[in-house]
Amino acid sequence: MDNSSVKVLIIEDDAFVALLLKEFLTKWGYTIVDCVSDGEKAIAAFEKYQPNLLLVDILLEGSLTGIDVVSAIKKSKDVPVLYITADLDSEIIEISKFTEPYGYLTKPFDENQLKATIETTISSFFKINKKLGKLEEELSMAMMQVDELTETNAHLITATFRERALKKELEATKALIEAQSKKIVDSINYSLRIQQSIIPSSEIFEEALGKQCVFYKPKDVVSGDFPWLIKKDKYIYFGAIDCTGHGVPGAMMSMIGNLLLNSIVNNGNECKTPSEILAELHKAVVHTLKQDAEGNKAADGMDASLCRIDFEGKDLLFSGAHLPMLFLRGDELETYKGDKFPVGGMQYRNRNTYSDHIIKLEDGDKIFIFSDGIIDQVGGEENMKWMTSNLKQFILDNKDVPMLNFREKISEKFDEYKGNHKQVDDVLLMGVEI
């Protein structure tokens, strides 16, 4: 990485120390975005400049210490931190370790050590090891000339001791990072196994719905979207649910949504309509997340597209919270819009209401429900969202494709349109052919 592309924010209440650090870093080619002396200004400067590296006085004077500042900043973004301290002891390390600093800069500064510490924080371990090898080679050559270069040799030995100490610190830091990374990955993978346990298998979908497809593509390892299916009496209930967020937060919300939906359908003897289920689900989410508590302004919840099919009577009921249903009969594709209210949150002061759409089914009809991840995907030649209009045209272009083959078709189209762009959201599309 070119040093000039590294943006550094210095947070130090000693003007002389801040100036000295700025001179060193400028000399080495780094970009100094700002030097601030108190915690509030530090947080404001971080939000404004988004630096790549923080140099922070650990005992910053004022209402916020250096540790307070770093803790506040790391709530929104993880950034490498080097603490500045005049006395590096076990107490300093203990009170600061929860902020996970990359190292400590001890005053008064040794210019070479300061430079090496900053470089090792930013550069890869490969470059550090390469530099250590070069230093050891130089030391070996210097020792062969010990009689002629006594003074030079002494400097090299001192430098070697510093580099060895630095190497040990790097090895410890590397081990800590690897352990933390493994713990995070293990936790996410365990979350995936839990989430997969609530999602019906393809065999269950096929047994319940017959000719169907489920195109499910999480943005991260775990997902905030989930396909839902349950059978009660002669009815098959299924839905595409899009929970707030994605990744681990979205997955936690999906667990809540799945459990609540199953409980609502199974509670009582009556077979509820999709609109009744959505209304009860809204109340249950508000209660479960305590969103009706005073001062709670959280709007977490979910959008949903729910269907109830009676295959014997050829009846379909649909109700949506923000999400629509696309209904294909022959060459005609009709859109049934969901209601404007989401599930969860108090922004509508519990006036959330949902309506049912009743459709008499015929053989060959096709039903499509989906989350907004597929239509919000950016791609194509113009780097635009795919939009509902393109999804509808794709369905019409492939109206004769059997539903069992439709998943492969939509997956290929999605990857083609996305191209080299990042996936923007979790993606879920469900299709059923009568």
Cα separation, 173 vs 178, in Å, equals 9
Q: Are residues 98 and 144 in the same domain?
A: no
Nearest CA to 211 among 374, 364, 392?
364
The residue among 32 and 132 whose pLDDT is bigger is: 32
pLDDT surpasses 60 at 130: no
Report residue 402 as tokens.
């059997």
The whole-chain average pLDDT of the chain stands at 88
- Percent of the chain residues topping a pLDDT of 70: 91
| pLDDT tens-digit map of 161-214 | 788 888 888 887 887 787 776 776 666 665 667 767 778 899 999 999 999 999
Q: Are residues 280 and 184 in the same domain?
A: no
- The domain spanning residue 29 has which CATH number? 3.40.50.2300
pLDDT of residue 126: 34
pLDDT of residue 139: 59
pLDDT surpasses 50 at 394: yes
Q: Are residues 248 and 328 in the same domain?
A: yes
Report residue 359 as tokens.
């459709």
pLDDT of residue 31: 94
pLDDT of residue 184: 65
pLDDT of residue 36: 94
pLDDT of residue 205: 95
Residue type, 229: L
Q: Are residues 193 and 275 in the same domain?
A: no
Rg (CA), the chain: 30
Q: Which residues contact 341 (CB under 8 A, 6 or more apart)?
A: 282, 321, 322, 348, 351, 352, 353, 354
Question: DSSP characters for 59-89?
Answer: T--SSS-HHHHHHHHHTT----EEEEES---
| pLDDT tens-digit map of 45-66 | 999 999 999 999 988 888 899 9
pLDDT surpasses 80 at 158: no
Q: Which residue, 67, 95, 123, sits at the end of a domain?
A: 123
pLDDT of residue 134: 64
Q: Are residues 309 and 188 in the same domain?
A: no
If you count DSSP H runs as helices and E runs as strands, how many of each does the chain have, helices first? 12, 17
Q: Which residue, 170, 198, 226, sits at the end of a domain?
A: 198
Q: Are residues 10 and 114 in the same domain?
A: yes
| pLDDT tens-digit map of 396-426 | 999 999 998 999 999 999 999 999 999 999 9
The residue among 88 and 337 whose pLDDT is bigger is: 337
Number of domains observed in the structure of the chain: 3
pLDDT surpasses 50 at 129: no
Helix axes 125-144, 111-122, angle to 10 degrees: 140
Q: What is the mean pLDDT of residues 263-282?
A: 95
pTM (2 d.p.): 0.59
pLDDT surpasses 80 at 342: yes
Q: Are residues 117 and 141 in the same domain?
A: no
Cα separation, 149 vs 236, in Å, equals 88
Q: Domain containing 169: what range?
A: 124-198
335 CB burial (10 A radius; 0-12, 13-18, 19+): exposed
Q: What is the mean pLDDT of residues 71-97?
A: 87
